[in-house]
């Protein structure tokens, strides 16, 4: 059987495929026309957020039985076309949870202790000690919005740091909350009581601009907002206003309504914001786990 790997994949994942006796063909990010040629005789394809597996690609692959996405989102795969052909689609949604959680915690520290700001000033030759008064996290309250895979990991670390943990999630899992020493609250209470609010919800209709002007105004003026979920969970214009006018103290953002974030965006002009370019899942471990998990699922689907 033949597997087309159409995006960079960890070598351990390739090993899993080869050990199962599959022929592996690798080509990085082929365009649609090239992909149509490549899929003619393959039993499986593995992609990441690229390339797109369109209806045209699926229709050009008579032997295709499974499509693997090393990672979470499936928006680059025509799921309807796959379903019509009875092609299985597998992914690795939990592979990056810990990495995203650790980045969120990193952003909290970076904002709370003004680490990125201080670093920028040092490089400008400015010893900005007086402007770098920070806050400790121990004893503070963290509000985790969305208590799923990533929210759970964030809460576990926050609990170990001595923070009080509040959760907001329409599907509360009380047992898991107890395990990490947290309790559920409604969103309004969470926003009012938290010193750090961190977002870990999927982007769906109900979470589009979940954090808007009205909700930012509920937060403490000393509070920090972290978004490592999806940019559009926060109303960016309202956030810029909140940061400029001091409704909240700072923000750490890994995701944006427009990616890449335009270089002259107002967020880049604010000292109380730490920005990273959507790197939540960018760790050696997450990439390895994502690849291996998908490779194992492909083996299972083709052989099982
Ligand atoms: P998950 O599905 O395990 O958890 C999401 C949680 O959000 C669930 O418990 C769900 O009940 C809850 N939820 C749904 N709607 C809600 C609402 N309206 N209000 C509050 N909670 C709500 O997902 P996950 O694996 O923890 O990932 C969360 C999100 O993180 C993903 O959807 C993705 O957008 C984002 N993500 C970002 C990166 C990155 O690189 N920064 C990487 C991976 C995932």
Q: Which of 15, 209, 278, 296 is catalytic?
A: 278
Q: For residue 73, is pLDDT > 90?
A: no
pLDDT value for 166: 98
Domain identity same for 45 and 146: no
Per the structure, how many domains does the chain have?
Answer: 2
Cα of 279 vs centre of ligand 1, distance in Å, is: 16
What's the CATH number where 12 sits?
A: 3.40.50.720
Same domain, 26 and 122: no
Q: What is the mean pLDDT of residues 57-85?
A: 96
Known catalytic residue at 176 = no
Global pTM reads 0.93
Q: Are residues 207 and 262 in the same domain?
A: yes
Q: What pLDDT, on the 0 to 100 scale, is given for residue 75? A: 86
Residue 70 Cα to ligand 1 middle (Å): 17
What average pLDDT does this structure show over 116-139? 98
First to last CA, the chain: 13
- 37 noted as active-site residue: no
- Judge if 107 and 200 occupy the same domain: yes
Q: What is the pLDDT of residues 90-107, one digit of tens each?
A: 999 999 999 999 999 999
| Residue 119, C-beta contacts closer than 8 angstroms, at least 6 positions apart | none
287 with 265, same domain? no
Does position 268 have pLDDT exceeding 90, yes or no? Answer: yes
Question: Does one domain contain both 23 and 164?
Answer: no
Give φ, ψ of 241 to 5 degrees: -60, -45
Domain assignment of residue 68, given as a range: 2-92+283-303
Distances 300 to 17, 42, 44, 290, 304 between C-alpha atoms, Å: 10, 16, 12, 16, 5
Query: What is the model's pLDDT at position 55?
Result: 97
Using alpha carbons, select from 170, 222, 213, 173 the residue that is nearest to residue 194.
Answer: 222
Domain shared by 258 and 298, yes or no: no
Residue 297 sits in the same domain as residue 173: no
Residue 72: pLDDT over 90:
no
Residue in 143, 150, 287 to alter for ligand 1 test, most ligand atoms within 8 A of Cβ: 150
Q: What is the complex's ipTM, to 2 decimals?
A: 0.99
How far does Cα 295 stand from its chain's mean position? Answer: 21
For residue 144, the CA-to-ligand 1 centroid distance in Å is: 11
Annotation says 23 is catalytic? no
Q: Say if residue 85 is in the same domain as residue 182.
A: no
Q: How far is CA 279 from CA 161, 197, 253, 276, in A?
A: 23, 19, 10, 7
pLDDT score recorded for residue 105: 99
pLDDT at 228 over 90: yes
164 and 195 share a domain?
A: yes
Place of tokens 């999927």: 202
Residues with CB under 6 A from ligand 1: 72, 93, 96-97, 100, 145-151, 168-171, 200-203, 206-207, 228-230, 254-255, 278, 280-281
Atom of ligand 1 nearest to the CA of 254: 41
Ligand 1 centre distance from Cα of residue 150 (Å): 7
Selecting among 259, 289, 296, 300, the annotated active-site residue is: 259
pLDDT at 304: 79
pLDDT recorded at residue 220: 98
Let me know whether 132 and 14 are in one domain.
no
Query: CB–CB of 185/209 below 8 Å?
Result: no
Mean pLDDT across the stretch 231-236? 98
Instruction: Give the CA distances from residue 25 to residues 3, 44, 234, in Å, rounded to whole numbers and listed in that order.
Output: 6, 10, 41
Q: Please indicate, yes or no, whether residues 125 and 232 belong to a single structural domain of this protein.
A: yes
pLDDT tens string 151-193: 999 999 999 999 999 999 999 999 999 999 999 999 999 999 9
pLDDT of 11-49, one tens digit each? 999 999 999 999 999 999 999 999 999 999 999 999 998
Catalytic residue, chosen from 200, 230, 289, 293, is 230
């Amino acid at each position: 059987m033949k597997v087309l790997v159409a995006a960079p994949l960890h070598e351990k994942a390739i090993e899993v495929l080869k050990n199962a006796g599959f022929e592996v063909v690798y080509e990085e990010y082929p365009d649609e026309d090239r992909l149509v040629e490549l899929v003619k005789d393959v039993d499986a394809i593995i992609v990441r957020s690229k390339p797109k597996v369109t209806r045209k690609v699926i229709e050009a692959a008579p032997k295709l039985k499974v499509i693997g996405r090393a990672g979470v989102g499936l928006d680059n795969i025509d799921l309807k076309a796959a379903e019509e052909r009875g092609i299985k689609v597998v992914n690795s949604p939990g592979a990056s949870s810990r990495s995203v959680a650790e980045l969120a915690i990193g952003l909290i520290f970076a904002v709370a202790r003004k680490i990125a700001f201080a670093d920028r000033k040092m490089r400008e030759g400015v010893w900005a000690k007086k402007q770098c008064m920070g806050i400790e996290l121990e004893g503070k309250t963290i509000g985790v919005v969305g208590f799923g895979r990533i929210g759970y990991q964030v809460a576990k670390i926050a609990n170990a740091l001595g923070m009080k943990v509040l959760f907001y999630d329409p599907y509360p899992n009380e047992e898991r909350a107890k395990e990490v020493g947290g309790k559920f609250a409604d969103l309004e209470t969470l926003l009012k009581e938290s010193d750090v609010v961190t977002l870990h919800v999927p982007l769906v209709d109900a979470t589009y601009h979940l954090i808007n002007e009205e909700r930012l105004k509920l937060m403490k003026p000393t509070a920090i907002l972290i978004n490592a979920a999806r940019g559009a969970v926060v109303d960016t214009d309202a956030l810029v206003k909140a940061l400029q006018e001091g409704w909240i103290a700072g923000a750490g953002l890994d995701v944006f309504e427009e990616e890449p974030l335009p270089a002259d965006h107002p967020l880049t002009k604010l000292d109380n914001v730490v920005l990273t370019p959507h790197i939540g899942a960018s760790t050696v471990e997450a990439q390895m786990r994502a690849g291996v998990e998908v490779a194992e699922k492909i083996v299972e689907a083709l052989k099982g």
